[in-house]
Amino acid sequence: MDVLKIISLAILVGGLTLIYADNPISSYHYLADPAATSDGETFYLITDSDDPAGDDGYTIKSLYGFTSQDMKNWTDHGIIFEAKREYDNINDIWASGIDIGPDGKFYIVYPDGGGGGVGMITASNFSGPWENPIPGNKKLIHNWGGGLADCDGIAWCFDPDIFFDDDGSGYFTFGGGSNNVRKAEDGNNNVFNIYKLNNDMKGFDVNSKVQLKFGGPRVMEAPFIHKRNNIYYLSYSTADLRIGYATSNNVMGPYTYQGIFMDNPNINGRNINAHNNNHHGIAEFKGKWYAVYHDRRLVQADEHPASLGVANPSPAYHRSVSIDELTYTGDKLDKLIFTDEGPKQIANFNPYKKYPALTSSKQRNIRSRTDWTRGQPVKHVLTPHSTKESWIRVSGVDFGPGATNFRVKAASLAANNKIEIRSKSVTGTLAGTCELPQTNGWHSYETTECAVSNLSGLVDQLFLVFKGARDSTMGILEWEFTSGPSIPQAPYKDVAATIPGKIEAEFYDEGGQGKAYNDADSENQGDASFRPGAGVDVVAIDEGWAVGYTLVGEWLKYTVNVEQAGEMFYTARVASGLAGSSFMLFMDDKAISDTIKVPAGEDWDTYTEISGKTQAISTGEHELRVLITGSFVNLDWISFSNESPVISLAKPELVAEKTTFRVHNLQGKLVAQFRASEHCNLQERLMSVLNQPGIYVIRAQNSGQSYKMVFGQ
């Protein structure tokens, strides 16, 4: 994080042309302080934002998230976390660290503004929602209160990093600055701390603290740990605006200074950082290592985003994020070579998946906004300046035998907005044109499909060109290409499901990706023998089939015929081996349920029935949509009834004619008990003995059998 107010030296090398350069990764935002990690399939990058900054200081309110699977094309997920008062009582969020825990979740450690301490958040989905795992909504480290431990005398209580070792153990570091208690001096640096996190990720052992002391040039900030060949590398920003590193055979040290591996960013002697300080992150991906860093090349370019209406904002406070490949000689880090081109593309881009609209290798004359709803993953919307030359470019696109259609989901507040699909250049071969229908508002999205041609094999450069008579009247949410004839949406086997009645989850509509379902990938990750060629992940179970491997944001549609109007009781047969799984029900895009929480069981083969009540629905043909709001739900079926469901609590031979049932909440507290026969109307009985909805464990006293039940949610 840049904390020194180092005013640019007016060495602004005349206009830099970055229109076609791949670095920085975004030409429409000012981004800074990157950190990176990888799960082997995807490279994850977080940054904070200088978009709101003025000319005399930093204003940093949000974290952006980017991903890539080929190191050339990047998906901008938007503001994945924002420093609002309702989030952990923080106001600013500066340089943060990210890693993936042994539980598969993402963990971010962030500073509370300019030195208020260090907090932690976690999420199953990179786009959120994020939550604080520490009881009492506390921070890890506090300077101004509300944390598990204090700053231990460190002058700058910020710039945290999080690191998970090969055995799953987690650690976090932070620190910077210098004072009489913790000094940073040439050859004598003692301004960083490291702690070991608890296995449950709900805190850390205060006694695990180690003060990281080492030599080398004077430290400024930004401790970052990565591991290669059983050697731990501690890299950091120096007071003379470079990045140095030290190594150890133990994550907790001691560390020995080794040298400088990143000079102040320059290309062929041309400083691209306005001679300011830097911040970095390092991660391995598919056998190569990469360094992410910030510079000031975007703000000094011929074209750059204006900040708060200022045409040429101060370079010192308007940074941009870039990436280049990092190499080693033995166990030593080679000097990073800064480039305009960025890393080489390491895999072809698959166009036959649904992508967030801001997926590109370069952009021109576009803006974006993040739509945020508490408790849901964020949505990032592309808003072109379509009266100018406005486009996004995708590199190295493998169309195989050939694409036949382009599908886009967008809002359009003006008539005659359109998207041209071109290859080779902005004015290259026209493959197709999609006219966008005018919609009722920014959040009224419609899916448009248009035919394309001349898109086969490997296309080096693909351009989506935005045309319109008025700027910022398009809101593009997602796009994809399809191959083969377009299949209209229709009920499974041409028979609409009946409500009241039971709907098997695997009997979703025909029509394919984007029409009948939204799946994160194009392959069936389960048993492809059922409905081969479809992308929905169907798994075989003892009772037949179920939908599994679900992720947040995925959905399924069912054409239904509602024969009786009014509120309905639903029962769903579900399974999940993790906490946090959930879904919602929509009828014709109107929510008819709250978030339906799925209780965590021992595994995904243990199914249970959960019940609740919907809002009123009308008779006639409708479109039922099941939206996954918490990943890893297995869904067997959903039934709808005008009557409260009768749940069989146990097998007849295990339950006496009259059985006492004890009801506990998930904290194990007894909240109610009642007597009932083997088959009873559980909803009505629970309503009579419980004060509030929730997830309960019901135990039959004579048999000892227990059942989890979601009531009234």
Mean pLDDT, the chain, integer = 87
Do 324 and 402 belong to one domain?
no
Q: Does any domain span residue 688?
A: yes
**Sign of the alpha-carbon torsion through 179, 182, 188, 192:** negative
Residue 676 has a pLDDT of 64
- Give the mean model confidence (pLDDT) for residues 195-210: 96
Domain finish residue from 462, 482, 502: 482
Q: How far is the C-alpha of 517 from the C-alpha of 538, rounded, in Å?
A: 13
Longest dimension (CA), the chain: 89
Beta partners for 66? Answer: 45, 76
Phi/psi region, residue 484 (left: phi>0; alpha: psi -120 to 50; beta: rest), is left
Pairing state between β 555-562 and 544-547: unpaired
CA distance 47 to 50: 10
Give the residue-averaged pLDDT of 257-283. 96
- 657 shares a domain with 629: no
* Cis amide bond preceding 401, omega within 30: no
512 & 384 share domain:
no
- Distance (Å, whole) CA 704 – CA 445: 51
Structure tokens at 706: 């227990």
Which tokens hold the place of 228? Answer: 């290669």
CB 596, CB 572: distance < 8 Å: yes
Strands (E), 83-157: 97-100, 106-111, 117-123, 139-142, 147-150
pLDDT one-digit tens code per residue, 657-666: 466 777 777 5
pLDDT tens across 384-393, in order? 999 999 999 9
pLDDT number for residue 520: 75
What is the per-residue pLDDT for 711? 55
Residue 607 has pLDDT above 50, yes or no: yes
CATH code, 156? 2.115.10.20
CA 314/CA 335 separation, integer angstroms: 29
pLDDT score at 643: 79
Residues 225 and 370 occupy one common structural domain: no
What does the radius of gyration of the chain's CA atoms come to, in whole angstroms? 28
Query: Of 67, 77, 19, whose CA–CA distance to 40 is shortest?
Result: 67
Give ∠ CA 497-501-502 in degrees, rounded to 5: 80
Q: What's the DSSP call for residue 132?
A: -
Three-class SS state of 694: strand
**pLDDT digit string, tens, across residues 580-597:** 899 999 999 899 998 998
Quick check: 656 pLDDT over 50? no
557 and 460 in a single domain? The answer is no
Quickly tell me which residue has 């248009």 as its tokens. 450
φ, ψ of residue 62 in degrees (nearest 5): -150, 160
- Residue 580 is predicted with a pLDDT of 87
Task: Tokens 């990176």: give the residue.
Answer: 36
Report if residue 109 sits inside a domain.
Answer: yes
Number of domains the chain is built from? 4
Which of 49-63, 318-332, 536-550, 689-703 has the lowest average pLDDT?
689-703
In the predicted model, what is the mean pLDDT of residues 532-542? 88
Backbone φ and ψ for 561, nearest 5 degrees, come out as -115, 110
Residues 569 and 444 placed together within one structural domain of the fold? no
Length reported for the chain: 713
Dihedral pair phi/psi, residue 27, rounded to 5°:
-105, 5
Residues with Cβ within 8 Å of 373's Cβ and at least 6 positions away in sequence, in order, are: none
3-state secondary structure of 492: helix
Q: Which among 603, 621, 641 is the end of a domain?
A: 641
Residues 303-315, mean pLDDT to the nearest whole number = 80
pLDDT attached to residue 644 = 67
Alpha helices per DSSP H over 138-271: none
For residue 427, the domain's CATH number is 2.60.120.260
Q: Residue 80 falls within a domain, yes or no? A: yes
Whether 140 and 267 map to the same domain: the answer is: yes
Q: How are beta strands 256-262 and 243-248 bridged, if at all?
A: antiparallel
List the structure tokens of 638: 């959903």
- Count Cβ atoms below 10 Å from residue 605 Cβ, excluding itself: 13
- pLDDT confidence of residue 484: 76
| Cα–Cα distance measured from residue 350 to residue 535, given in angstroms and rounded to the nearest whole number | 15
Domain match, 505 and 470 both: no
Check residue 214 and give its pLDDT. Answer: 97
Q: Which of 175, 147, 163 is nearest to 88 (CA)?
A: 147
- pTM of the predicted model, to two decimals? 0.73
Q: Domain check: are 655 and 637 in the same one?
A: no
- Average the pLDDT over each of 85-94, 294-303, 534-543, 562-571 and give the range with the smallest value: 85-94
Report yes or no on 37 lying in a domain.
yes
**Pair 445, 550 in one domain:** no
Residue 272 lies in a domain: yes
Classify residue 216: in a domain, yes or no: yes
How many secondary structure helices (H) and strands (E) does the chain include?
A: 1, 56
Same domain, 499 and 473: no
What is the mean pLDDT of the segment spanning 423-442? 95
The kind and range of the H/E element at 137 are none
Spatial CB neighbours of 591, under 8 Å, sequence gap ≥ 6: 584, 585, 615
Domain with 576, as residue range(s), is: 492-641
Q: Which of 617, 641, 665 is the last residue of a domain?
A: 641
CB 170 within 8 A of CB 160: no
Give the other-Cβ count within 10 Å of 592's Cβ: 20
Residue 3, pLDDT > 80, answer no
Of 16-30, 255-269, 315-329, 615-629, the one with minimum mean pLDDT is 16-30
| pLDDT at site 145 | 76
287 vs 651, residue with greater confidence = 287
Q: How far is CA 409 from CA 477, 486, 603, 635, in A?
A: 6, 16, 36, 27
Judge whether 348 lies within some domain: no
Considering the domain architecture, whether residues 97 and 144 belong to the same structural domain is answered as: yes
Do the Cβ atoms of 108 and 46 come closer than 8 Å? yes
Which position has the token pair 């979703």? 508
Confidence of residue 52 (pLDDT cuts 50, 70, 90): confident
**Under 8 Å between Cβ of 82 and 91:** no
Among residues 51, 69, 78, which one has the least CA distance to residue 320?
51
Q: Is residue 16 one of the residues assigned to a domain?
A: no
